[in-house]
Amino acid sequence: MRVLVTGAYGFVGSVVARHLLDHGHDVVALTHAGRPRFTIPGATAATADLRDRAALVRLAETERIEGVCHLGALTKVRESVSDPLNYFDTNVSGTLNLVAALEQMKRPKSEPARFVLASTSAVYGLREGRLSETDPAEPAHPYGASKLMAEQIVGYGAAAGRLSAISLRCFNIAGAHGLPDSDRTRIIPKALAVAAGAAEILEINGEGTAVRDYVHVVDVAEAYRLALESASPGVHRVYNVGSQHGISLAEIVEAVRRVTGRPVPTRHQAPKPEAQAVLANSNRIRHELGWGPLRSDLDQLVKDGWDASVQLAARSA
């Protein structure tokens, strides 16, 4: 299948692109501006801004796109609060433009494009406990709201028979496969940076007992492949992608110390209100697509993230 991967040069998108190539798909790797900072061997590199519908139409026609894994988006919660219009412009209008570009392609009406959307557990808002796809979506910030709107766009497109669509609501993605996660607003990359001496201290809310669901980026890439290959015409399915196993911040700190053999200085802050446990119920994707979190145990997440960071530092030296 000829697959367009948007956000293909990001932490998750690069793994998805390479995973699809490894499974025999042709990949067009999209970046929004300039030359990519690395290559994806075997992929066709392309440049277009998701907010430029005409450019996306030309790209879809020229490359004869049959499927899309749409990971190109703005993803920082706090930034979305301070700059909401940019998030809606990129995440909502960008998705709408991409769907419209696929519709304008000259393809048999019996062959709607396959579309896998990168969504997020943030659509559930402030809910706690083990979350399932049947729980109400009540996003608490513009990032989550923009992703829910993107889901609705592809959902209505599928209902009209224009797409074969699946939305993947991913929980906390970690680990690495080639490219390390450089976003230090996320706890595992920040803890690894402290262990490497690239950051001074890891600040912890309260005692670090809050529990979250972490899933390996390679397991996420496999979810994209299975979703792409199983998407059905005229249907929009939604799947949680999570390990179903809770990991606390304190456990992450101890795992980073254990795996790296390095100290991780911490500072405990006065507790701020936060959900004590947010976990995925991922039974639906397990039962319907046969997916499983094969690499998502804590030590593997930390080891792969650490190894990727060490290798990047060695290449940059």
Place of tokens 């557990």: 121
Q: Is 156 annotated as catalytic?
A: no
CB atoms within 10 A of CB 24: 7
Place of tokens 């808002």: 125
Contact (Cβ atoms closer than 8 angstroms) between residue 291 and residue 228? no
Tokens representing 243 are: 């390990």
C-alpha triplet 52, 154, 74: angle, nearest 5°: 50
Helix axis angle, 187-195 to 298-316, nearest 10°: 60
Name the catalytic one among 9, 143, 214, 224. Answer: 143
Place of tokens 């889901």: 151
Coil, strand, or helix at residue 146?
Answer: helix
Distance CA 80, CA 145 (A): 10
Contact (Cβ atoms closer than 8 angstroms) between residue 40 and residue 48? no
Q: Which residues are catalytic?
A: 143
